[in-house]
């Protein structure tokens, strides 16, 4: 029996672990990967952060500044790996948590390596395992290939082909920038993408969004969702694409055919592959037995704590679990608050006993 079980050993789980170390509570972090780094280990090799290293750091230890202004995926994986080593975080991997079950005095995590019991659970499983692909008419008729950005490994397999890159965020822009060098790529976005000015990156966005968030707290108003973090940051590769004239987009097609798509005006295009850069949902299947997942796929929370299951906290899933919580720098606030709340809750229970 542990005091706390953290499910997920990516940046969110590690950040909670960092703060829990100081509490004296016993805890373990169960992670489904074979290596450190969370979802970053699956990202495509050229993925580049939209913030400089100092603005992509977890609590306690800043990410070392490398040669590039914007760190790449490899640097993040290295950083997370060194981070858990540095703070001797008790990560068990690979352990897949299949289900979390409720008992009167504890929660049980049922895993592929047996059962773990704990007085409280933090779910920090991210979104990478739940890629979102929108429905289009006749999608199943399409004979070409379809893959989500979660499974994109680089442009090589698309050389010489006709490709649709669907999605107007940073993933879509970055993948379009490199695929268009080897393939005939069309960028499909719901509306005209919002490009940030060349001198604005994730750091500036984070500062602005933090100021707005603090103002809202001071005014006693509820924090509104932060716009801007999804807008396209002009990292060097995207600027090069703009200079080559490929950073233009068209509105969505209306349906698939066996060999391509039909556009709004009735014209058809032959397409070899579609790359869906259409985002992610929270990966919460392991919580389904608790009957707390709502119709929108989320869990009702106050801060990061589940309202219906108060022994459960959820960290790092995006705005609904804390402002900018699905970013390296943004997860800190929710992680600290979570550790403090767990400590208070468990100590209170002990006093009551």
Q: What is the DSSP letter of 280?
A: B
Query: Any idea of the CA torsion for 139, 140, 142, 148, to the nearest 10 degrees?
Result: 70
User: Which residues within the stretch 185-224 sit at the binding site for ligand FAD (CB under 6 A)?
Assistant: 202
- Binding part of the chain for ligand FAD, among 29-37, 186-194, 215-223, 241-249 by CB under 6 A, reads 29-37
- Per-residue binding letters, 236-275, with ligand FAD (x by CB under 6 A): ----------------------------------------
- Contact window for ligand FAD (CB under 6 A) among 31-39, 140-148, 208-216, 252-260: 31-39
318 binds ligand FAD (CB under 6 A): no
Contact 353, 347 (CB under 8 A): no
Residue 56 is a binding residue for ligand FAD (CB under 6 A): yes
Apex CA 87: angle with CA 82 and CA 89, to 5°?
95
* Contact between 2 and ligand FAD per CB under 6 A: no
Does the protein bind ligand FAD through residue 136 (CB under 6 A)?
no
The SS3 assignment for 163 reads strand
How many whole angstroms from its chain centre is CA 270?
A: 33
Stretch touching ligand FAD by CB under 6 A, among 139-147, 268-276, 300-308, 322-330: 322-330
CB nearer ligand FAD, residue 124 or residue 292: 124
- Count of CB atoms situated within 10 Å of the CB of 225: 9
Question: How far is Cα 347 from Cα 353, in angstroms, rounded to an integer?
Answer: 10
Residue 171 vs 278, nearer CB to ligand FAD: 171
Instruction: State which of positions 92-131 bind ligand FAD (CB under 6 A).
Output: 95-97, 124-126, 128-129
Burial 50-77, CB ≥16 within 10 A → b, else e: bbbbebbbbbeeebeeeeeebbbbbbbb
How big is the CA angle at 290 (ends 287 and 296), to the nearest 5 degrees?
65
158 near ligand FAD, rule: CB under 6 A? no
Q: Distance between alpha carbon 63 and the CA centroid of its chain, in Å?
A: 18
Interaction of residue 144 with ligand FAD, rule CB under 6 A: no
Establish if 333 lies at the interface with ligand FAD (CB under 6 A): no
Rounded to the nearest whole angstrom, what is the least distance from the CB of residue 268 to ligand FAD in the complex? Answer: 31
DSSP for 184-241, written as a single string:
EEEEE-SS---BPPTT--HHHHHHHHHHHHHHHHHTTPPPPPPPSTTSBP--HHHHHH
Nearer to ligand FAD, 164 or 261 (CB): 164
Nearest CB to ligand FAD, comparing residues 31 and 309? 31
Is 316 among the residues that bind ligand FAD (CB under 6 A)? yes
167 lies in the site for ligand FAD, by CB under 6 A: no
Under DSSP, is residue 284 helix (H, G, I), strand (E, B) or coil?
Answer: coil
Buried b (16+ CB within 10 A) or exposed e, 157-174: ebeebbbbbbbbbbbbbb
Which residue among 18, 19, 38, 314 contacts ligand FAD (CB under 6 A)? 38
Closest CA relative to residue 93, chosen from 80, 106, 76: 80
**Binding flag, residue 282, ligand FAD (CB under 6 A):** no
Q: Which residues bind ligand FAD (CB under 6 A)?
A: 7-13, 30-33, 38-40, 47, 49-51, 56, 95-97, 124-126, 128-129, 170-171, 202, 283, 286, 316, 326-328
């Amino acid at each position: 029996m542990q005091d706390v079980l953290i499910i997920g050993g990516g940046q969110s789980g590690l950040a909670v672990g960092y703060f829990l170390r100081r509490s004296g509570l016993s805890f373990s972090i169960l992670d489904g990967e074979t290596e450190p780094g969370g979802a970053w280990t699956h990202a495509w090799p050229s993925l580049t952060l939209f913030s400089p290293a100092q603005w992509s750091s977890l609590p306690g230890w800043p990410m070392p500044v490398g040669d590039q202004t914007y760190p790449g995926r490899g640097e993040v994986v290295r950083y997370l790996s060194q981070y858990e080593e540095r703070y001797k975080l008790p990560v068990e991997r690979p352990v897949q948590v299949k289900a979390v079950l409720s008992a009167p005095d504890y929660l049980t995590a049922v895993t592929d390596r047996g059962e773990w019991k704990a007085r409280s659970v933090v779910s920090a499983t991210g979104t990478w395992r739940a890629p979102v692909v929108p429905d289009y008419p006749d999608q199943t008729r399409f004979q070409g290939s379809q893959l989500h950005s979660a499974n994109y490994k680089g442009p090589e397999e698309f050389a010489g082909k006709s490709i649709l890159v669907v999605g107007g965020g940073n993933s879509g822009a970055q993948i379009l920038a490199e695929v268009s060098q080897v393939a005939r790529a069309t960028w499909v976005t719901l509306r005209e993408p919002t490009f940030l000015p060349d001198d604005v990156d994730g750091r500036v966005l984070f500062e602005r969004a933090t100021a707005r968030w603090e103002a809202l707290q001071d005014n006693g108003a509820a924090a509104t969702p932060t716009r801007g973090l999804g807008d396209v940051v002009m990292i060097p590769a995207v600027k090069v694409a703009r200079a080559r004239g490929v950073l233009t987009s068209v509105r969505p097609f209306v349906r698939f055919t066996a060999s391509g798509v039909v556009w709004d005006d009735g014209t058809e295009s032959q397409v070899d592959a579609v790359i869906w850069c259409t985002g992610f949902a929270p990966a919460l299947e392991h919580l389904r037995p608790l009957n707390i997942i709502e119709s929108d796929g989320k869990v009702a929370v106050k801060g990061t704590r589940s309202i219906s299951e108060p022994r459960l906290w959820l960290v790092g899933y995006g705005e609904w679990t804390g402002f900018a919580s699905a970013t390296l720098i943004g997860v800190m606030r929710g992680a600290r608050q979570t550790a403090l709340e767990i400590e208070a809750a468990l100590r209170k229970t002990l006093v009551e006993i």
